[in-house]
Structure 1
């Protein structure tokens, strides 16, 4: 006998997805608050940052959207959940919590199935049915755009941090000398920017992919500034 997916089934799937979203937001809030209050370190260290409440706000917004049968909320929840897990995996260097991830993804996917089926079935039963209220265009879209912009900004900053740590991009921050890569230190030596008997204490460069573009450094002997001009490093200045 062929299974008939009806309006009750769609509503049930949406309800389960919304419960999963609510539990996710509640648990995340608890972990963040405890991490901040206790100044947690180690595994829970990254959660001790108020910026994590942006994640909670997005999940809560999707939870509310699911309660109103929003297809946008259901799709956003799945995409964001997958991206968040990928970033966590990249940050930790290994996958973790796969069973938990699959369980939550299962319920979130039911939200997508349920919301799309709900509106399709309502439309089939009533041709005049309007799935998107007018308030959606005046409130949900602007708020969603702001939240999405914050997420994109956070993801971009996170990605730049990963690329800087991997050496693909130059770090935009002042770097301690012992944190410079061997290749960067060798470049400074080869170009005569520092002497073999010098120790770099702090370094800063506005270069994008290479420190050869320009740089400012403090050694145990002097302050040095340099910049690249027509393929060679010039304008070398130092103060004793």
Structure 2
């Protein structure tokens, strides 16, 4: 066989994502954490846009767009299975809830806060388990 001089060059391309079996419960923990982050991002965005439009809601203003971007970025990180993003999301969530409590003086939405706390903790567990499995492979 003769080599075609006009054929495009070919190179072996390695897969970017490692190919290994990840248990469904690990992926479920990560999925639930990023979905909780997505819900938080959407709700914060909606309330911020209402505040910008002139409705006064819980002290929100245009500066809360920084919060939207931060939570959205951390959510994307959790979706990409980042351990740092999962830990940072939980830390940011706890700090923001503590500041809201200190500012408001009464615990509002404690049940929802506990649910989100649980989901973010599970996200941390899931991302660490995922990377532990990836390292074994």
Partner of 1:46: helix, strand, or coil?
coil
Structure 1 stretches of 4+ with a deviation exceeding 3 A read none
Q: Would you say 1:111 and 2:117 are equivalent positions?
A: no
CA pair 111-45 structure 1, distance change in 2 beyond 3 A? closer
The structure in which a higher percent of residues are strand is 1
The structure in which a higher percent of residues are helix is 2
How far apart are residue 8 of structure 1 and its match?
2.2
Query: Highest relative contact order (Cα 8 Å, sep 6+), 1 or 2?
Result: 2
Aligned residues between the structures:
116
Q: Would you say 1:40 and 2:52 are equivalent positions?
A: no
**Which structure has the larger Rg over C-alpha atoms?**
1
The match for 1:29 is 45
Superposition TM-score, scaled by structure 2 size: 0.80
Alignment partners' CA distance in 2, 1:113 and 1:45: 32
Alignment partners' CA distance in 2, 1:54 and 1:119: 29
Alignment partners' CA distance in 1, 2:46 and 2:118: 23
1:79 to 72, 91, 100: 91
Superposition TM-score, scaled by structure 1 size: 0.47
String of CA shifts for 1:77-134, please: whole Å, max 9, x gaps: 000000000000010112211001001111111100000000001212x1xxxxxxxx
Aligned Cα root-mean-square deviation (Å): 1.2
Check conservation: 1:7, 1:121, Cα contact below 8 A: no
The match for 2:34 is 18
| Structure 2 gaps, min length 5 | 1-21
| Structure 1 gaps, min length 5 | 1-5, 127-240
